[in-house]
Every structure is written in structure tokens, then in C-alpha cells.
Amino acid sequence: MAFKTAKLSLYIYSGTAGVYTSSDLKYRLTKDVIGSQTKAVLEIGELIRDYIDNTFDGSTYQSQSKWVTANVELFNSSGASINDDQSFTYLAVDGYGSFEQGINPDLDNHVLQSNDNVYVLEGQRAQIPVFAESLSNITFYNGSTNIGSQTITDNGNSNQKIQFVSPPANCTSAIFDSTSDRTITINQICESVYTPHDIHFFNKFGALQKITFFKRNDQTITIKDKTFKSNTLDVANENYSISKGQVSRYNVNAKKKITMNTGFVDEAFNEVIEQMLLAEKVWIKYKSQTLAVIPTSKSLKYKTDLNDKLINYAFDFDFAFDSFNLIR
């Protein structure tokens, strides 16, 4: 008899591919074939995403990846097994594809960022996310001088798949070897007037990425409160104190916002800016602390060298908490 029902057991786990236990079973799904169709389609992406919790503590650069094993059992209309069971194992990250890429696109498995130009504060080191499986060696240059190299190793563990390369502080370019070599140019920016701030976010490849806003930044605070009007009459003395106001405040709190400028960047940085605005998790390094922020700029005009000559972006970020600590 023809295929009628698919039963899916979904295991989500860390460690080595294919090595999982019963405690890693996260979902059991059942789907029947509809009408005259011959396929049962099950969407598992959003289910897996619940088990990838990317965070940033301000110092450790890491991006979570998980192994996913989907065991599929097939049954006919009588409920008998078709004996055509299948098993699939995938590596999952919290990334996304664009509409233009079509259904279930394979994301870049090389350098896990869209930009080939990186801007860092003079004396600091870049952090470049890479996919370990497809890389073997990175060569660092200062101008045309080879100043060293780094070998990428991958032991198969899920925590090895996304790694971060930190070129030397005097590195001006790095060549990432693979089937298609890619060169990342590192621009050291000297900023003696403004205090640069780093924004960290998880990009479309599911990797942590940093953008430094080098130029002017402005802060604002928005106060919110409620008021009530009270009777201040001292009945016993048939008087009232003029130092006691009739109107009092309560539920006073505030939200802070910071507006920052990138400084001059190249036209290809448009893609990185877009990914930052689309990110669900964003942090700022601010006064030696790592704080969660929310991009509140909801539109982006893509700037070009032809139209805008020198490209600078300014964006607003809300600090993702109230000024008064209401966590008891």
C-alpha cells in the first residue's frame, strides 16, 4: 500500500554528529499525506531555533551550533511500516536566508560575514567568524609582508564549527584559504576626538559580528511618570503647607537612547548594516560594560559612492532596560 503517514523523531544535541541519547529527543511529529499528494512536508527550522541560545558576555566570542538528527518512519494507510525508514543529520545555526536565495538556501560556509572590509580601532584586533570545516589556513599580511599564519582545526564537535580568527594588531589583510580564497582587508582607524563604541550582533550566518561606531554619539533620556492630585489641607489648623504640592508623581522611570555614527565606510558595508538592523540580539560595549540595546532606526537608505561620495551611517539604539532597576 502507498505511503500515508510520516512520523518524525527530532534529536537536537551538542557534541559529535550522530552521537545522541534519548534525552536529546526534543520533538515527535506526525504528518499525513494530504489528498492525492505523495509527500508529507514538515518544517523543523523554528523548532530547532528554540534550542539555540546565542548570548554575548562582552569578552568571549562564540556562536552556538547544534547537531540535529531527524529519524523518519513511514507508514501506509493501514498503519503498517513501509520499511523505508530514513535518518538525516544536519548542523544547525541561528541564521537566515533572503527571499531571493530561494527555499532552504545553503549559507556561506567560509568566512561568516558579508563584508570584505573590517574597521577596527587602532591597536585593537579584529574578530572574524569562520566556518571551520571549509578552511585550512589563514595568512596574515602587513602591506605586502607576510607576518604569520594560522591553521584552522576541527575535531567534529559542534562547538568547533564556528570559530573566530583574531589577526595580529598590525595586520592589514588576511587571506582565508579554501576552494575559493577570500581576502579580508583590515582598516586601522585612529580616532582621537570621539569615544568609539562597539556594537555586537548575530548576523545572517548565525555568527557573532562587531561593528565599531567611531564618530559622534549623543545620548538622550525619556522620562515617563504618572501624577495624582491630593488634598493637602490641615483641617486641625485650618491651613495648608505651601511646601506640599497638590500634584504628586508616581511610577517614575526612564529609558535612555544613544545615537551613533559609523564614520566613513565603503559601499559594501550596506549589507552588514542591514543585518545589524534585522538582528534580534544586539549589545553595546559602553563604559566598560556589555549592555543589551535595541536598534530603533526602522529604515535604511542604502548609500553609494556614486550618490553619496563619503558614506557615514547614523543610527538610534534604545538601551533594553529601564533606568530604575525594577527587578526584585
User: 193: Cβ–Cβ under 8 A, 6 or more apart, which residues?
Assistant: none
SS3 15: coil
List per-block mean pLDDT (blocks of 10 residues) for the chain, which spans 328 residues.
88 96 96 87 93 93 95 90 88 92 81 94 94 89 94 92 94 84 93 95 96 95 93 87 89 94 93 95 94 93 90 95 83
> Is the torsion defined by CA of 18, 20, 22, 23 positive or negative?
negative
Say if pTM beats, i.e. exceeds, 0.85. yes
Q: What is the pLDDT of residue 179?
A: 57
